[in-house]
């Protein structure tokens, strides 16, 4: 586990202030709209800070409400939710989170590089950057992490590093969000075990012990306080391998779980996801579910390509920011199997995001998933469609088999019979 925090500084405080000012109309509108937590996609570390924004009992917007909105109004409301999420993160965890030069949230004061040589490292050290180089397990990927010096924002530091190391690939440690609801914050007992042999992979929060999860589960943490049982991770895991009160697409499948959130408000970073992918590749995992969304990140892109070369198939959700939102990553990367969600009537979820390609649709609403207390509860979002496709892929073994099984359509629908009902 690495805790690689930068220092808060005057430039970044100005950046955060600008962000809040530019979004004030959105936040004000959100206070009147009050959408349901099911569209919030919040990081575990920040869910607790926003119940006044998105959780007022008796004044919520459910799935049926989303269906009734025009595309323009839906886009506005989903944009408001995303803006509020980022604003809340910056206000409550500005010591760990700031905006990069694209105004995307990232771990404060951390820059990630690949393709550097000794001369570049010497130049960066001379310029005052802290330098830490390592090899990513399982991917044979050398990565250099820089810490910015106090008094410089991440956005300005990124521009400076690109000037000092023009041949390197430079990025922030961008944050990725669960592409499902802000599930209850209660945590259960962490499922524990050791796996020998073939297993399905899950990169998410930790998974709680659950009677439906009858197969072995091995977990490893890639964030502060991880592994730690989470509601989102448990729900997704139950839809992969549940065999009981919740039935997954591959009942009883062993699970290798990488917790990239733990108790860290800045969890879910690109570097954590890359290390988790490396662990999966090193363990020979054939299929990995990533029900997380965020911006394009060159380090994550490269890691996914290397993992794919080692036989790892990545299944990712397209997110819940709506079709007008920017393309979701990692679902949009070439070779990643991108999944959207459908409701009980077979209709695409109106809040489903988009990717540069969409390979399959699967149930993502009007369904149940495992809870941390050992029961089941309702879920909605593309987070819960992706594990159904991943579980089916793990059981069938090939994309060709999935295509043969899926119903025809754009996108083809897979696992329509996998929906867990009341």
**What would the pLDDT profile of 112-153 be if each residue is shown by its tens digit?**
999 999 999 999 999 999 999 999 999 999 999 999 988 899
Residue pair 121/169 in contact (Cβ under 8 Å)? The answer is no
Residue 313 pLDDT > 60: yes
User: In the structure encoding, which two tokens stand for residue 231, read together?
Assistant: 């509601």
Q: Tell me which residues are annotated as active site.
A: 204, 232, 383
Say what the pTM is: 0.85
Nearest to 370 by CA among 227, 204, 222: 204
Residue 340 pLDDT > 50: yes
All domains of the chain in start order, with CATH = 10-96 (no CATH), 99-174 (3.30.70), 177-418 (3.40.50.200)
What integer is the mean pLDDT of 218-241? 96
User: In the structure encoding, which two tokens stand for residue 405, read together?
Assistant: 């099984």
What integer is the mean pLDDT of 381-404? 96
Q: Supply the angle between the helices 24-33 and 10-22 in degrees, to the nearest 10.
A: 50
Residue 239 CB-density burial (10 A; 0-12 exposed, 13-18 middle, 19+ buried): buried
Residue 401 pLDDT > 80: yes
Residue with tokens 């042999």: 197
pLDDT band at 91 (very low <50, low <70, confident <90, very high): very high
Q: What pLDDT is stored for residue 137 in this prediction?
A: 93
Q: What pLDDT is stored for residue 185 in this prediction?
A: 54
Q: What pLDDT is stored for residue 22 in this prediction?
A: 34
Residues comprising the chain, all counted: 422
Residue 50 pLDDT > 90: no
pLDDT band at 68 (very low <50, low <70, confident <90, very high): confident
Continuous segment of H or E residues that includes residue 355? none
pLDDT band at 280 (very low <50, low <70, confident <90, very high): very high
Residue 61 pLDDT > 60: no
What is the chain's mean pLDDT, rounded?
Answer: 84
Residue 186 pLDDT > 50: yes
């Amino acid at each position: 586990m690495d805790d690689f925090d930068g220092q808060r500084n005057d430039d970044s405080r100005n950046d955060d202030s600008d962000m809040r000012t530019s979004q004030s109309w959105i936040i004000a509108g959100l206070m009147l709209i009050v959408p349901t937590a099911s569209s919030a996609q919040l990081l575990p570390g920040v869910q607790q800070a926003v119940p006044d924004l998105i959780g007022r009992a008796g004044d919520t917007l459910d799935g049926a409400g989303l269906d009734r909105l025009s595309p323009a109004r839906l886009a506005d409301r989903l944009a408001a939710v995303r803006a509020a999420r980022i604003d809340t993160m910056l206000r409550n965890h500005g010591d760990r989170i700031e905006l990069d030069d694209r105004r995307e949230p990232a771990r404060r004061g951390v820059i990630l590089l690949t393709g550097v040589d000794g001369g570049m490292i010497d130049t960066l050290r001379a310029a005052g950057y802290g330098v830490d180089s390592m090899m990513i397990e399982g991917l044979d990927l050398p990565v250099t992490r820089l810490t910015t010096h106090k008094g410089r924002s991440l956005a300005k530091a990124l521009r400076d590093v690109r000037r000092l190391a023009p041949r390197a690939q430079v990025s922030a440690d961008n944050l990725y969000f669960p592409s499902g609801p802000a599930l209850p914050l209660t945590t259960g007992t962490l499922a524990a075990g050791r796996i020998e042999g073939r297993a399905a992979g899950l990169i998410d929060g930790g998974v709680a012990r659950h009677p439906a999860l009858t197969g072995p589960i091995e977990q490893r943490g890639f964030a502060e306080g991880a592994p730690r049982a989470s509601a989102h991770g448990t729900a997704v895991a139950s839809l992969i391998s549940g065999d009981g009160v919740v039935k997954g697409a591959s009942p009883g499948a062993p699970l290798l779980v990488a917790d990239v959130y733990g108790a860290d408000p800045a969890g879910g970073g690109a570097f954590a996801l890359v290390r988790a992918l490396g662990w999966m590749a090193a363990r020979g995992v054939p299929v990995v579910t990533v029900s997380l969304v965020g911006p394009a990140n060159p380090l994550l892109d490269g890691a996914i390509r290397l993992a794919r070369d080692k036989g790892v198939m990545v299944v990712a959700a397209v997110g819940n920011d709506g079709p007008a939102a920017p393309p979701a990553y990692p679902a949009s990367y070439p070779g990643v199997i991108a999944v959207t969600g459908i409701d009980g009537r077979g209709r695409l979820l109106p809040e489903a995001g988009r990717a540069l390609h969409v390979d399959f649709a699967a149930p993502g609403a009007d369904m149940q998933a495992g809870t941390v207390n050992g029961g089941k509860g309702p879920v909605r979002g593309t987070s819960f469609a992706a594990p159904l496709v991943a579980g089916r892929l793990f059981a069938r073994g090939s994309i060709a088999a999935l295509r043969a099984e899926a119903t025809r359509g754009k996108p083809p629908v897979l696992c329509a019979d996998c929906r867990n009902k009341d």
